[in-house]
């Protein structure tokens, strides 16, 4: 019995080589309709399955870790921050006016997005999530009502490693839960594991590859050492366009030798034609043999770069989050990596007191720079196909934002100080995430927790960093590790998990 041939593999190859994006043929001058084109191309080329929205496994994880007390409410405020100014405690530690705190309702709950500049930053993220096809079911769960477990000023956040044996999410994902990739996990930033943010792990889990710039990231991918240069090999196998088709007049000696055999010597002439899988696979393989992953990463990055706005290179927090997330999107789509952890040192916030909605403030810059990066990531993820042919990157992406601690709900020193905080800030984003602002900071500065199961406001002790950690495990499909990591007694926050 004949062995069944595999399905059209050139299609898979094109998928996996990330040529969907490069095929658009637009360089750095990409216009605003780029994603429309990509979306249309995806549908035309692979059907609507390319835009499937089924929330499935978390194949791709991005962890953004803020050191030194970044104000999460500069991006995702609580409902109480929308209290009319006249009814607010004048020391309420919020930098957005109520009208510029805009909800996005999904899953029956509102998540609040702070807008410092219309169309920029977190405001743009909200628009991207609300209007981009393929992102309709992405939830954003935000909370500043998570009690600190070990206090503040630590590089080893309890919400990422609440016990001595716990492994932080990025390391765990890269080491055990992500599909195999050439460079599995990236740790992007300054001082990682050396003072800024630690990635706690055990010997069973390899450390992530550390980089602090796009150049360093690109250098992780080297060319496959082979005898011929790519240009020399092209003389044999041919040159290909961005669609993966042989270029007329540059087919290569192999193609011409094959053609001679097929037309004159092949005993099955007339049966063995251009549509046969063996022919398509041969052409696909020839194309692959001349492709460079590093070049593909560069091309994809260039193509999606406009999604990340003018602040893509802004090093707010010590590293350019836009570059990191654009690199992540490109790497995910090309099957080059599965996991990104970004460490940002946000510095001192104590005396950064400015009027509402000041875009130039520390809070405003964090909102705009990091919001643009997040918007770019999700916009790109919605259009970039999963390299394994399973929907889009967005279908399998989890973004987790953790602030070491947030600032006090009410300013201190008679309103002159963003005090070191009493809670942790956590945000999850993805298709396995239930939308909502969980817990609350009231207009009077009262912090209220929430019920782990229902998500409804609940008095009493706040939810814990250990619970937040276990929640991330559960979202990743790693809840079975809770016992081994010493967090089995902490109930996950099921209210934020779909």
Partner 1 sequence: MNLLLRSAAALTLTVIAGCGQPYSPAPAEHIAGPHGGGDIFESSPDTAPYQTVSYDILRSWLVDTLHMPQSVAVSGACDPVIDADACPRQAPVQYLDANKGALGIPVFTDEPDGTQAPSLMTSGGFKVWIVAASSACGIAAATPSTMNELFPAAQGGLDSYDTFYLLLLGRSPTAAEIAELDTLQGAYSDDVRKAAAVCTTVLASLENLAAN
Measure the CA–CA gap between 408 and 415, rounded to whole angstroms.
Answer: 11
Closest CB 9 distance from partner 1, rounded Å: 5
Closest CB 199 distance from partner 1, rounded Å: 11
Give whichever of 5 and 195 is closer to partner 1, judged by the CB atom. 5
Residues 6+ apart with CB under 8 A from 475: 58, 398, 428, 430, 432, 433, 497
Give whichever of 72 and 174 is closer to partner 1, judged by the CB atom. 174
DSSP 323-362: HHHHHHHHHHHTTS-SEEEEEEE----TT----TT-TTSH
The answer to whether the CB of 297 falls within 8 A of the CB of 214 is no
Closest CB 201 distance from partner 1, rounded Å: 10
Tokens of 474: 């559960």
Give whichever of 253 and 453 is closer to partner 1, judged by the CB atom. 253
Measure the CA–CA gap between 137 and 107, rounded to whole angstroms.
Answer: 9
Give whichever of 288 and 358 is closer to partner 1, judged by the CB atom. 288
Give whichever of 174 and 368 is closer to partner 1, judged by the CB atom. 174
At residue 397, the 3 state secondary structure works out as strand
At residue 59, the 3 state secondary structure works out as coil
Closest CB 8 distance from partner 1, rounded Å: 8
Q: What is the CA 273 to chain-centroid distance, rounded? A: 43
Closest CB 17 distance from partner 1, rounded Å: 6
Residues 6+ apart with CB under 8 A from 65: 157, 160, 197, 341, 342, 343, 344, 401, 402, 404
Give whichever of 42 and 141 is closer to partner 1, judged by the CB atom. 42
Give whichever of 16 and 407 is closer to partner 1, judged by the CB atom. 16
Measure the CA–CA gap between 316 and 248, rounded to whole angstroms.
Answer: 47
Give whichever of 61 and 104 is closer to partner 1, judged by the CB atom. 61
Measure the CA–CA gap between 261 and 279, rounded to whole angstroms.
Answer: 13
The answer to whether the CB of 81 falls within 8 A of the CB of 410 is no
The answer to whether the CB of 145 falls within 8 A of the CB of 462 is yes
Closest CB 376 distance from partner 1, rounded Å: 24
The answer to whether the CB of 35 falls within 8 A of the CB of 383 is yes
Closest CB 481 distance from partner 1, rounded Å: 17
Give whichever of 281 and 448 is closer to partner 1, judged by the CB atom. 281
Closest CB 450 distance from partner 1, rounded Å: 37
Give whichever of 149 and 184 is closer to partner 1, judged by the CB atom. 184
Give whichever of 290 and 367 is closer to partner 1, judged by the CB atom. 290
Closest CB 10 distance from partner 1, rounded Å: 5
Q: At what angle do helices 277-289 and 253-260 cross, to 10 degrees?
A: 160
The answer to whether the CB of 430 falls within 8 A of the CB of 397 is yes
Give whichever of 19 and 497 is closer to partner 1, judged by the CB atom. 19
DSSP 120-183: SHHHHHHHHHHHSTT-TT-EEEEEEEEE-SS-SS-SS-TTT--STT---HHHHIIIIISPP-SS
Closest CB 175 distance from partner 1, rounded Å: 7
Closest CB 222 distance from partner 1, rounded Å: 4
Measure the CA–CA gap between 370 and 312, rounded to whole angstroms.
Answer: 9
Closest CB 240 distance from partner 1, rounded Å: 12
Tokens of 174: 């890269």
């Amino acid at each position: 019995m004949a062995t069944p041939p595999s399905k059209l593999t050139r299609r898979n190859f094109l998928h996996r080589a990330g040529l969907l994006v490069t095929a658009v043929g637009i360089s750095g001058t990409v216009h605003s309709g780029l994603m429309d084109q990509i979306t249309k191309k995806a549908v035309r080329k692979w059907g609507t399955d390319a835009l499937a929205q089924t929330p499935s496994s978390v194949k791709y994880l991005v962890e953004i870790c803020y050191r030194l007390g970044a104000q999460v409410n500069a991006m995702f405020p609580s409902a109480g921050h929308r209290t009319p100014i006249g009814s607010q405690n004048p020391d309420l530690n919020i930098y957005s006016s109520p009208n510029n705190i805009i909800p996005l309702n999904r899953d029956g709950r509102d998540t609040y997005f702070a807008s410092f500049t219309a169309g920029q930053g977190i405001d743009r993220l909200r628009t991207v999530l609300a209007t981009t096809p393929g992102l309709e079911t992405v939830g954003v769960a935000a909370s500043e009502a998570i009690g600190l477990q070990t206090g503040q000023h630590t590089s080893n956040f309890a919400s990422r490693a609440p016990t001595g044996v716990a492994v932080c999410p990025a390391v765990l994902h890269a080491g055990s839960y992500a599909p195999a990739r050439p460079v599995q996990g990236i740790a992007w930033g300054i001082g990682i594991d050396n003072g800024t943010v630690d990635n706690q792990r055990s010997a069973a889990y390899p450390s992530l590859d550390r980089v602090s710039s796009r150049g360093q990231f690109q250098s992780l991918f080297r060319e496959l050492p082979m005898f011929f240069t790519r240009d020399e090999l092209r003389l044999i196998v041919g040159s290909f366009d961005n669609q993966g088709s042989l270029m007329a007049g540059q087919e290569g000696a192999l193609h011409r030798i094959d053609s001679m055999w097929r037309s004159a010597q092949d005993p099955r002439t007339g049966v063995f034609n251009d549509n046969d899988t063996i022919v398509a696979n041969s052409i696909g393989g020839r194309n692959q043999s001349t492709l460079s992953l590093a070049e593909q990463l560069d091309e994809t990055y260039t193509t999606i770069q406009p999604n990340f706005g003018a602040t893509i290179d802004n090093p707010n927090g010590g590293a350019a989050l836009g570059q990191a997330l654009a690199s992540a999107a490109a790497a995910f789509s090309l099957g080059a990596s599965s996991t990104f952890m970004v460490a940002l040192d946000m510095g001192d916030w104590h005396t950064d007191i400015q009027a509402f909605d000041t875009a130039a403030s520390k809070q405003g810059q964090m909102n705009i720079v990091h919001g643009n990066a997040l918007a770019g990531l999700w916009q790109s993820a919605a259009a970039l196909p999963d390299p394994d042919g399973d929907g889009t990157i967005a279908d399998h992406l989890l973004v987790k934002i953790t602030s070491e601690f947030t600032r006090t709900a009410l300013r201190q020193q008679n309103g002159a100080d963003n005090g070191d905080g009493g809670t942790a800030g956590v945000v999850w984003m993805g298709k396995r995430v239930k939308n909502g602002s969980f817990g609350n900071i009231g207009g009077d500065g009262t912090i209220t927790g929430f019920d782990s199961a229902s998500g409804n406001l609940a008095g009493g002790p706040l939810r814990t960093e250990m619970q937040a950690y276990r929640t991330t495990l559960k979202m990743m499909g790693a809840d079975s590790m809770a016992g081994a990591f010493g967090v089995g007694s902490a109930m996950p926050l099921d209210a934020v998990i779909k």
